[in-house]
Structure 1
Amino acid sequence: MPEHFRALIVILFLASVVFLLARRPATDLIPLSDYKRRRNLWFLLTVLAFVSHSFWLYLGAGAAILLLARRREHNPMALFYMLLFLIPPASVQVPGFGVVNYLVDLNHIRLLTLCVLLPAALELRRHPDSVRFGRTWADRLLAAGLVLMSVLYLRETTLTDTLRQALYLYVDVFLPYYVASRGLRQLSDFKDAMLAFVLTSFVMALIAVAEYVRHWLLYSALVDAMGVPWSMSGYLSRGGALRASVTTGQAIALGYVMSVAIGLFLFVQGYVQRPLHRAMGALLLAAGLFAPLSRGPWIGAVVIVVVFIALGKGAVRRLALLGAAGMLALPLLTMVPGGDKVLDLLPYIGNIEKENITYRERLMDNSWIVIQRNPLFGSFDFRNTPEMQAMIQGEGIIDIVNTYIN
């Protein structure tokens, strides 16, 4: 049996477990009919992706299914989040038919945006209760940022590619913002959308744990089976263990998805009735956060939890308890089996790949020098500066892993 079919069986089994256990707590927030419809759509599109053996076939059939599903969906953002991480976002180029090299890059996320969010945005624009774009400062600042980024592309690429990048900004940034800011009118809509992100993160978390335990990236064979070249599906390890990536293609990206999901779960779990369900969800997301073995997202998750507690009732007492629990957990890890390995992975405490942390510190210092020279509009050729050239690693690359620096 081909590897991607074996992976599909495992993925469907793990997802079935999650959706079965999540059904009861999910209905504390949304109608059962919405839960079943989105769950079934998740299974349908997943099977379609694995059996299509062609990304173009998946795009065509997937577009038809999504356009039909959207007609029955009252909350487009919830549907968008539910399917956001369905398959890896590997891209194919739409041919330019001799006019240009290619028109645009298409991937699953852009397919989802065009089939779900674009029709929703057009409907919201005609809705009499929708605030016209540009009326709020958030609108104006976003528009100014998008225009500025589009103009700055002219420094480093052609006019044709600049137009292409501007289109990507519209699809990838503007449409999600517009639909979320205009479409989530009621608290129930907001809870629905946040729950959808948490539910799909539950599925990813259990798959991530399976990848970590079995040392098998379950979605890597799918990209090859669909005939899409993608450089982000490689195996990475840390401390002798596989770093899970699921559909994100990179362990760091998966880690940040899990940390964001934990932040949203802190809100959603307040509406779940049974404490057991809340505890199970928290443990699953914690396991999903650990599986990528990415230390930056661990720090991010801690910050999110601390800020959430600080903004709630009894903040001082709860923060003190959290701090005490953290202090007690460190010596306990030295006594439990496998605890030493966990300690070795912790940033600034462990010894595994300490050179990565040192490299990040040097990256911050050298980048700040370059940033100070270009404080307003940045530098498109920053990699050629002496400070950045000094950051070339043994592999011959400059690892600008920090998105904010980039």
Structure 2
Amino acid sequence: MGAAKKIEIANYGAGYVAKVGRQYFVAWVVLTSCAFLTSNYYIFALLSFSLIYFLRKKIPIEAQGGLYLVLLLGLPSLSKTIPGFLGLQQLFQSSWPLILGVAFVLAERQGRIFKFTEKVDWAVFLFFAIVGILLLRKSSFTDGLRYVFIYFNLICVPYFIAKKISKNAASVRLIFIGYVFIMLILAGAAVFASLKHWNVYQSLDSALALNERGITGYKYRGGFLRASTTLGAIHLAIASFGAVILYSYLSYGTRSSLYKKAAFFLFFLTIVLTFSRGPWLIGLGVLALYFAMDRGSKGLIYLVIGLAAFAMLLSVSGVLGSVMDGLSLRDSGNVDYRQHLLEVGISEIMKYPFFGRLDFRDAAAFKTLIQGEGIVDIVNTYLQIALAYGVIALGFFVYALIVWPISIYRKAARSKDLQRQKIARAYFCFMLCIAISIFTVSSFNVGSVFFPLIMFWVGVGHGVEGY
């Protein structure tokens, strides 16, 4: 909480921010205790649901967006199939994002959550509607209905929760603070786990008797355990770069302190320990763009000139070729796999362009992509969506994730309000970092923590737009 000192929000002073930070910390401690100490999934679900209901009554509405992020990222997906009764084999697949979303919706007391007032609302809903209808192609109609319920909570619920809560600059900045706060906690846990080779959250698999591998696996690279907590290594790197952008915005103009330097150091150390070179390059590029945009058109010109001068220096030194190979990761087998996946994926999309096919992995072309684990890993979120649900669904998703933030930034850039421009710039660069990075990793999964995070941030755009 020391990293939040001197941060003020609109009419709220640093004391108010510190108070909200303490509430976030207590919420995280209690939630984590519920997960690790109950040793029973149903008791955990009941206690966490009660906790959310209590917190929504006690914490001011403008601070509840940050609370949602603290709780969402405070635990991994915790996916578990709930067994059925009276002839039903199963009810549905529960997960932590689903429990959190349902609890937030049921605890809402200030009007309806699901209101359609803008184009992006319909884009999100139509994205879900296409996915939901096509999910009815499952082997049985009841299975299809179960997945429709899951994906409604994956797509619509986090988006409309964010839209409801983020109404102005104060609520958006508190969302930024909540995100940076939980990412600092995850960064500390990730660095500790990586250096100590301790799979902290993996113990929840057996403790809560999870019958789904909802917690991401921990992998080694170069003898090091890749940093990973409630998010996988690649997702953690993406999320950490986003935290750097938002904390840079929040701490702008505040006096440099040990807390501030320690926070940035911890984020960058976490990013390094994820050993995810794709997000490294993307994140650094977007971060450079963010600081260049802060200086307006001159900053962008300086950025281009600086890159050109650096390239000329490398060329004169005779190392440009090797450096470019390293930056493009041509020495990595993962890149060859991703390139092959993209070629095969686009070819398969052209066969079923409009509505995709759920069993696309059974196509003969994908047999060449089977890895050592015996699976075809679709490490590209856009391909995931297009292959299973078609380019129409992908189009609505791209509109919400990319076109919507661009339009928000352009409106802010045309205004004369400097503060609005700054918050829109931070939001745009944050979303850009996510949009580019998920080209390298799968995210659209049942029980995923990261995809609800994406959809929540799409909804935050309403607060930025209505600054």
Indicate how the Cα distance of structure 1 residues 223 and 396 shifts in structure 2: closer, same or farther if over 3 A, else same: closer
Partner of 2:19: 33
Matches within 5 A, 1:372-383: 372-383=350-361
Report the residue type matching 1:123 in the other structure. Answer: Q
Partner of 2:460: none
**Bigger Cα displacement from structure 2, 284-293 vs 24-33:** 24-33
Partner of 1:239: 222
Between the aligned residues of both structures, percent identity stands at: 25
Q: Of residues 188, 191, 208 in structure 2, which corresponds to 1:209?
A: 191
In 2, distance between residues paired with 1:185 and 1:136?
14
1:271-290 deviations in whole A, cap 9, x for unaligned? Answer: x6122344332222111212
Contact 2:76-2:96 at 8 Å conserved across structures: yes
Indicate how the Cα distance of structure 1 residues 94 and 65 shifts in structure 2: closer, same or farther if over 3 A, else same: same
Contact 1:309-1:318 at 8 Å conserved across structures: no
In 1, distance between residues paired with 2:43 and 2:54?
17
In 2, distance between residues paired with 1:233 and 1:170?
23
Contact 2:104-2:161 at 8 Å conserved across structures: no
Tell me if 1:401 matches 2:379. Answer: yes
Tell me if 1:109 matches 2:86. Answer: no
In 1, distance between residues paired with 2:249 and 2:310?
22
Indicate how the Cα distance of structure 1 residues 78 and 394 shifts in structure 2: closer, same or farther if over 3 A, else same: closer
SS in 2 for 1:104: strand
Report the CA distance between 1:192 and its aligned residue.
Answer: 0.1
Indicate how the Cα distance of structure 1 residues 23 and 45 shifts in structure 2: closer, same or farther if over 3 A, else same: same
Contact 2:293-2:300 at 8 Å conserved across structures: no
Matches within 5 A, 1:123-202: 123-125=110-112, 133-202=115-184
In 2, distance between residues paired with 1:317 and 1:67?
50
Partner of 2:244: 262
1:209-252 deviations in whole A, cap 9, x for unaligned? Answer: 1122111111112332222234345331111211121122x322
Higher relative contact order (Cα pairs below 8 Å, separated by 6+ residues): 2
In 2, distance between residues paired with 1:397 and 1:230?
16
Indicate how the Cα distance of structure 1 residues 327 and 263 shifts in structure 2: closer, same or farther if over 3 A, else same: farther
Report the CA distance between 1:163 and its aligned residue.
Answer: 1.6
1:165-204 deviations in whole A, cap 9, x for unaligned? Answer: 2212222221221121232111010000111011100111
| Dislocated runs of 4+, deviation >4 Å | 25-30, 320-328
Partner of 1:285: 267
SS in 1 for 2:93: strand
In 2, distance between residues paired with 1:375 and 1:287?
42
Indicate how the Cα distance of structure 1 residues 169 and 381 shifts in structure 2: closer, same or farther if over 3 A, else same: closer
In 2, distance between residues paired with 1:22 and 1:117?
31
Report the residue type matching 1:361 in the other structure. Answer: Q
Q: Of residues 65, 82, 85 in structure 2, which corresponds to 1:77?
A: 65
Question: Given the two structures, how large is their TM-score scaled by the length of structure 1?
Answer: 0.80
Report the residue type matching 2:339 in the other structure. Answer: E
Partner of 1:45: 31
**Bigger Cα displacement from structure 2, 220-229 vs 175-184:** 220-229
Report the residue type matching 2:220 in the other structure. Answer: S
In 1, distance between residues paired with 2:327 and 2:340?
16
1:71-101 deviations in whole A, cap 9, x for unaligned? Answer: 0122321110111122221222333322532
Report the residue type matching 1:63 in the other structure. Answer: F
SS in 2 for 1:155: coil
Report the CA distance between 1:149 and its aligned residue.
Answer: 0.8
1:22-42 deviations in whole A, cap 9, x for unaligned? Answer: 352556665332221221121
In 1, distance between residues paired with 2:97 and 2:326?
33
In 1, distance between residues paired with 2:286 and 2:37?
39
1:259-303 deviations in whole A, cap 9, x for unaligned? Answer: 332333343233x61223443322221112122212232233124
Partner of 1:275: 256
Report the residue type matching 2:255 in the other structure. Answer: R
Partner of 1:68: 54
In 2, distance between residues paired with 1:26 and 1:48?
31
Indicate how the Cα distance of structure 1 residues 194 and 118 shifts in structure 2: closer, same or farther if over 3 A, else same: farther
Partner of 2:366: 388
Q: Identify unmatched segments of 5+ residues in structure 1.
A: 1-18, 127-131, 331-342
**Bigger Cα displacement from structure 2, 43-52 vs 307-316:** 307-316
Q: CA RMSD in A?
A: 3.0
Report the CA distance between 1:253 and its aligned residue.
Answer: 2.6
Partner of 2:452: none
Report the CA distance between 1:258 and its aligned residue.
Answer: 1.8
SS in 1 for 2:81: strand
Indicate how the Cα distance of structure 1 residues 153 and 275 shifts in structure 2: closer, same or farther if over 3 A, else same: same
1:114-173 deviations in whole A, cap 9, x for unaligned? Answer: 2224433x62328xxxxx723311112222211111111122332212222221222222
Matches within 5 A, 1:292-331: 292-314=274-296, 315-316=299-300, 319=303, 323=307
Report the residue type matching 1:64 in the other structure. Answer: S
Indicate how the Cα distance of structure 1 residues 405 and 326 shifts in structure 2: closer, same or farther if over 3 A, else same: farther
Contact 2:137-2:144 at 8 Å conserved across structures: no
Report the residue type matching 1:383 in the other structure. Answer: R
Q: Identify unmatched segments of 5+ residues in structure 2.
A: 315-322, 385-467
Contact 2:105-2:161 at 8 Å conserved across structures: yes
Indicate how the Cα distance of structure 1 residues 355 and 364 shifts in structure 2: closer, same or farther if over 3 A, else same: same
Indicate how the Cα distance of structure 1 residues 299 and 243 shifts in structure 2: closer, same or farther if over 3 A, else same: same
SS in 2 for 1:93: strand
In 2, distance between residues paired with 1:274 and 1:137?
41
SS in 2 for 1:275: coil
Matches within 5 A, 1:313-392: 313-314=295-296, 315-316=299-300, 319=303, 323=307, 347-348=327-328, 351=331, 354-392=332-370
SS in 1 for 2:381: coil
